[in-house]
């Protein structure tokens, strides 16, 4: 038995009677598994009495849901206007070069996933980024390097 | 209750303060106080909204609260040495918080408690006029509540500026077994954070506003749809709802009135277009966030096909004050058809970025220089985008127009949700115009062609203009494309993406490689 699929099925079952419960279920699955595995889609669809296409459509519509696991650390760098005005483009270019990957990619050492964000709500303290669940304001290439080094050395 | 003999120190818990290290500052203050044997009560308040000073630490003194900021974790020891617990001098000393000009010159109505109270303290909330609006609403007939909101002239603060009471009245007058109040907290506009601040810094105000909306319209269930990028807002709101329920401000019998209203937070999943009310409702129903054609309007057929009020956070959060103080008090602020105040949010390349709540009618120049202090880089300000990613770029010639919905509409701009993003003279407006199209392509729900295809073609056309491939023809093409998007899109996503694009092209032709005469011809 595939435990990931069973976990997904159990979470979906817990939400199937919630009005509009598919999104809360998908959040629950991603929180538990780190992603929403493609092979769990039939089980989720079964619980909600939806077609696989409908569930697949919802998962792929929203940027938040991932079909594949992320690395140990996920970095979100805000690319929106207020951050652009304070050097977000330079920061993103620096991050890509330092991590050796494109946006939505994994760093060469497999430790980091680099994602764009479109507003973290820190527009008066830009550029902003999220490392794991920790917010950082006024990020420079230097502070980026320090934060990455700190995360890398963390157990 | 704060024990006698202890000194109260405030360290904000707002995301922007946390991003600047507020948790470590709070930890250091607690440790340092313990090491020195001093009795200190730490309160994690909301942010005053003076973000260049965050973390802004305040100390309660006999004269009032004294501010220190921006406090780095390493500054804590020296603050104790200097006697900050008694408001003594220190290089980070900012004087009495209430006397800081940035704050003193504001007209804080909706944000009256922001940064002052402990966001999760019901006692604190009630000591600062909290639930006065709800208590009054419970004594009024539903129609009288709606009338009060109508008389106050409250318009939707999410951006569309539609009169809030008109939606309420429609829901009230539509019979149904179940009605809903939905709070749109999908604050995706870059340069805006007033919704986030409200949820993190004064969540009971939103809860109270939604409850009043429920009582006025006969809705018994509310949902707050919060973007997934706001985990702290979600956590704070959930705690606040639990406390409000436990104290009888929510639930089956609100304050013994027999009225019922329940509230649930729903986490969004990173789709910008879900800030559009019909896409939001689809998403709440567990579907892809695809825009619905209107009519039917949500007030008649909304969530699960039932009559639904969909209002922005600030709209709903302003309701308690209107009920508590009366419509006349609120509508005395503002001008023309823009009544009351708007929490403007200064963002981007600005020295003093932060929240400025003022009555409608002040100018962008006043916000940029009197409050904002000019650019953060010290370079001249070149362009200011007002109203989020779908708002126009305003050149200096337009900075003296009063901030008023109608005056802005007259020049092809929008006040929107009050977000103000400042760019200095290093900004390339053709790049920002391209980004607007790119963002639309990324976030389009795909239902209507002008938005779905137009945005992708828009990126390509702007690239050809930048590369000087048939530039004059491509400029004509871009204008045609914008015309199609403006007039043919189903919602504001495609319908307003031309605002930043055309304003960039019209006011900054040189950034597109055009000379001034080309601009006349185009």
Please spell the DSSP secondary structure of B357-393, one letter per residue.
Answer: EEETT-BHHIIIIIIT-S-SSSSPEEEEEESSTTSPE
CATH at B455 = 1.20.1440.230
B468 and B388 inside one domain: no
In a domain, B321, yes or no: yes
- A15 CA: distance to closest CA in chain B (Å): 11
CB contact under 8 A, B269 and A27: yes
Of B69, B104, B139, the position where a domain reaches its end is B104
B228 and B209 inside one domain: yes
User: Do the beta carbons of residue B362 and residue B346 sit within 8 Å?
Assistant: no
Overall number of domains in chain B: 4
B359 and B250 inside one domain: no
Residue B4 has a pLDDT of: 56
Interface ipTM > 0.90 = yes
Residue A155 has a pLDDT of: 65
- B388 CA: distance to closest CA in chain A (Å): 9
CB contact under 8 A, A125 and B270: no
CB contact under 8 A, A122 and B304: no
CB contact under 8 A, B385 and A81: yes
User: Do the beta carbons of residue A61 and residue A68 sit within 8 Å?
Assistant: no
Q: Which residues of chain B lie closer than 8 angstroms to A119, CB-CB?
A: 187-190, 192, 229
Residue A2 has a pLDDT of: 82
Residue B520 has a pLDDT of: 44
Residues of chain A within CATH 3.40.30.10 domain(s) are 73-153
Residues in chain B, total: 522
Cα Dmax for chain A: 51
B419 and B437 inside one domain: no
Residue B5 has a pLDDT of: 79
Task: Report the 10 Å Cβ neighbour count for B401.
Answer: 17
In a domain, B109, yes or no: no
B508 touches chain A (CB under 8 A): no
What are the structure tokens assigned to A72, written together?
């140990």
CB contact under 8 A, B15 and A122: yes
Per-residue pLDDT tens digits for A69-110: 999 999 999 999 999 999 999 999 999 999 999 999 999 999
CA-based nearest residue to A151, from A68, A69, A70, A75: A75
Of B331, B366, B391, the position where a domain reaches its end is B331
Residue B408 has a pLDDT of: 97
- d(C-alpha B84, C-alpha B312), whole Å: 40
CB contact under 8 A, B192 and A118: no
User: Do the beta carbons of residue A128 and residue A78 sit within 8 Å?
Assistant: yes
For the beta sheet containing B381-386, the strands, ordered from the edge strand earlier in sequence to the opposite edge, are: B354-359, B341-348, B419-424, B381-386, B393-394
User: Do the beta carbons of residue B127 and residue B336 sit within 8 Å?
Assistant: no
pTM, rounded to two decimals:
0.97
Residue A1 has a pLDDT of: 56
Tell me: cis bond preceding A127? Omega within 30 of 0 counts.
yes
- Taken in order B150, B152, B153, B154, the sign of the CA dihedral is negative
- d(C-alpha B237, C-alpha B230), whole Å: 11
B384 and B414 inside one domain: yes
- Residue range(s) defining the domain that contains residue B402: 340-424
- Taken in order A12, A18, A20, A25, the sign of the CA dihedral is negative
B364 and B442 inside one domain: no
CB contact under 8 A, B16 and A27: no
- A→B contacts (Cβ < 8 Å), by residue, are 19-24, 26-27, 48, 54, 57-58, 61-65, 78, 80-86, 117-126, 128, 130, 133, 135-138
B420 and B500 inside one domain: no
CA of B242: how far to CAs of B224, B237, B248, B428, in Å?
A: 14, 9, 10, 48
Residue B521 has a pLDDT of: 42
- d(C-alpha B215, C-alpha B210), whole Å: 9
CATH at B276 = 3.40.50.11540
Facing residue for A137 by CB, picked from B16, B272, B439: B16
> Which residues does residue B266 pair with via DSSP β-bridges, in sequence order?
B225
Facing residue for B229 by CB, picked from A24, A119, A136: A119
CATH at B63 = 3.40.30.10
Residue in chain B nearest A136 by alpha carbon = B19
Exposure string of B447-475, with b = 16+ CB inside 10 Å and e = fewer, is bbebbbbbbbbbbebbebbbeeeebeebb
CATH at B392 = 3.10.20.600
**Dihedral pair phi/psi, residue B385, rounded to 5°:** -95, 120
**Dihedral pair phi/psi, residue B517, rounded to 5°:** -60, -35
Please name the residues in contact with B278: beta carbons below 8 A apart, sequence gap of 6 or more.
B291, B292, B294, B298, B491
**Dihedral pair phi/psi, residue B422, rounded to 5°:** -100, 135
User: Do the beta carbons of residue B189 and residue A119 sit within 8 Å?
Assistant: yes
In a domain, B116, yes or no: no
Q: Helix (H, G, I), strand (E, B), or coil: what is residue A31?
A: helix
B445 and B484 inside one domain: yes
Tell me: cis bond preceding B70? Omega within 30 of 0 counts.
yes
B177 and B248 inside one domain: yes
- d(C-alpha B86, C-alpha B57), whole Å: 13
User: Do the beta carbons of residue B148 and residue B142 sit within 8 Å?
Assistant: no
**DSSP single-letter state for residue B293:** P
CB contact under 8 A, A120 and B439: no
What are the structure tokens assigned to B438, written together?
């790119």
B323 and B359 inside one domain: no
CA-based nearest residue to B119, from B244, B218, B271, B302: B244
Low-confidence stretches of chain B (pLDDT beneath 70) = 1-4, 516-522
Q: What is the CATH number of domain A73-153?
A: 3.40.30.10
In a domain, B1, yes or no: no
Residue B83 has a pLDDT of: 97
- d(C-alpha B227, C-alpha A96), whole Å: 26
Please name the residues in contact with B499: beta carbons below 8 A apart, sequence gap of 6 or more.
B387, B390, B391, B392, B412, B413, B414
B203 and B285 inside one domain: yes
CA-based nearest residue to B436, from B488, B494, B487, B489: B494
- B143 CA: distance to closest CA in chain A (Å): 29
What are the structure tokens assigned to B395, written together?
């050149």
Residue A74 has a pLDDT of: 97
Helix pair angle (B471-488, B498-507), 10° resolution: 140
CA of B282: how far to CAs of B116, B277, B338, in Å?
A: 37, 9, 31
B46 touches chain A (CB under 8 A): no
Q: Using CB atoms and an 8 Å cut-off, which of residues 367-426 of chain B contact chain A?
A: 376, 385, 389, 419, 421-424
B436 and B512 inside one domain: yes
Low-confidence stretches of chain A (pLDDT beneath 50) = none
């Amino acid at each position: 038995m595939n435990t990931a699929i069973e976990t997904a099925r159990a979470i979906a079952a817990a939400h199937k009677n919630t009005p509009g419960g598919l999104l809360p279920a998908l959040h629950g699955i991603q929180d538990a598994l780190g992603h929403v595995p493609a092979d769990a889609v039939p089980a989720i669809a079964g619980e909600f009495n939806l077609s696989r296409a409908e569930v697949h459509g919802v998962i792929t519509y929203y940027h938040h849901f991932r079909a594949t696991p992320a690395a140990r650390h996920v970095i979100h760098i805000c690319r929106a206007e207020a951050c652009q005005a304070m050097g977000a483009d330079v920061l993103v270019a620096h991050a890509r070069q330092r991590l050796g990957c494109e946006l939505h990619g994994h760093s060469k050492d497999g430790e980091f996933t680099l994602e764009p964000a479109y507003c973290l709500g820190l527009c008066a303290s830009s550029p902003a980024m999220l490392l794991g669940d920790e917010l950082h304001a006024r990020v420079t290439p230097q502070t980026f390097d320090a934060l990455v080094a700190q995360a890398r050395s963390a157990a | 209750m704060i024990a006698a003999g202890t000194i109260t120190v405030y360290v904000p818990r707002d995301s922007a303060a946390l991003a600047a290290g507020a948790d470590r500052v709070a930890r250091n203050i607690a440790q340092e106080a313990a090491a020195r044997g001093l009795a200190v009560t730490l309160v994690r308040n909301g942010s005053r909204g003076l973000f260049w000073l965050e973390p802004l630490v305040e100390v309660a003194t006999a004269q009032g609260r004294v501010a220190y900021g921006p406090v780095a974790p390493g500054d804590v020891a020296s603050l104790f040495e200097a006697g900050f617990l008694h408001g003594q001098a220190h290089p980070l000393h900012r004087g009495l918080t209430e006397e800081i000009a940035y704050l003193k010159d504001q007209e804080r109505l909706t944000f009256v408690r922001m940064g002052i109270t402990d966001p999760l303290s019901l006692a604190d909330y009630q000591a600062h006029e909290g639930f006065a609006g709800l208590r009054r609403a419970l004594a009024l007939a539903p129609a009288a509540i709606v009338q009060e909101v109508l008389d106050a002239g409250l318009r939707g603060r999410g951006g569309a500026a539609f009169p809030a009471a008109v939606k309420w009245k429609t829901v009230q007058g539509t019979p149904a077994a179940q009605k809903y109040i939905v709070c749109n907290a999908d604050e995706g506009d870059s340069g805006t954070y007033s919704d986030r601040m409200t949820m993190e810094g004064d969540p009971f105000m939103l809860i109270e506003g939604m409850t009043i909306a429920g009582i006025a319209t006969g809705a018994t269930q509310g949902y707050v749809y919060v973007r997934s990028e706001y985990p702290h807002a979600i956590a704070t709101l959930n705690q606040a709802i639990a406390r409000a329920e436990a104290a009888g401000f929510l639930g089956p019998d609100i304050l013994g009135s027999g009225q019922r209203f329940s509230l649930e937070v729903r986490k969004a999943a990173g789709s910008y277009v879900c800030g559009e009310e019909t896409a939001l409702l689809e998403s709440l129903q567990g579907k892809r966030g695809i825009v619905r054609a209107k009519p039917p309007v949500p007030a008649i057929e909304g969530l699960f096909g039932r009559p639904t009020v969909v209002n922005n956070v600030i709209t709903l959060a302003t309701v308690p004050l209107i009920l508590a103080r009366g419509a006349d008090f609120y509508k005395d602020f503002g001008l023309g058809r823009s009544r009351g105040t708007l929490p403007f949010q200064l963002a981007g390349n600005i020295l003093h970025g932060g929240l400025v709540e003022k009555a409608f009618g002040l100018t962008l120049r006043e916000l940029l220089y009197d409050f904002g202090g000019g650019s953060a880089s010290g370079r001249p300000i070149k362009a200011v985008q007002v109203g989020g990613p779908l708002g126009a770029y305003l050149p200096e010639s337009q900075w003296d127009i009063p901030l008023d919905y109608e005056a802005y509409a007259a020049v092809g701009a929008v006040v929107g949700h009050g977000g103000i993003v400042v760019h200095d003279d290093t900004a390339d407006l053709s790049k920002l115009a391209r980004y607007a199209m790119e963002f639309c392509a990324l976030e389009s729900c795909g239902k209507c062609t002008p938005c779905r295809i137009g945005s992708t073609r828009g990126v390509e056309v702007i690239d050809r203009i930048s590369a000087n491939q048939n530039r004059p023809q491509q400029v004509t093409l871009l204008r045609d494309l914008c015309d199609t998007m403006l007039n043919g899109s189903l919602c504001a996503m495609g319908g307003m993406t031309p605002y930043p694009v055309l304003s960039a092209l019209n006011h900054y032709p040189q950034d597109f490689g055009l000379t001034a005469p080309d601009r006349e011809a185009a």
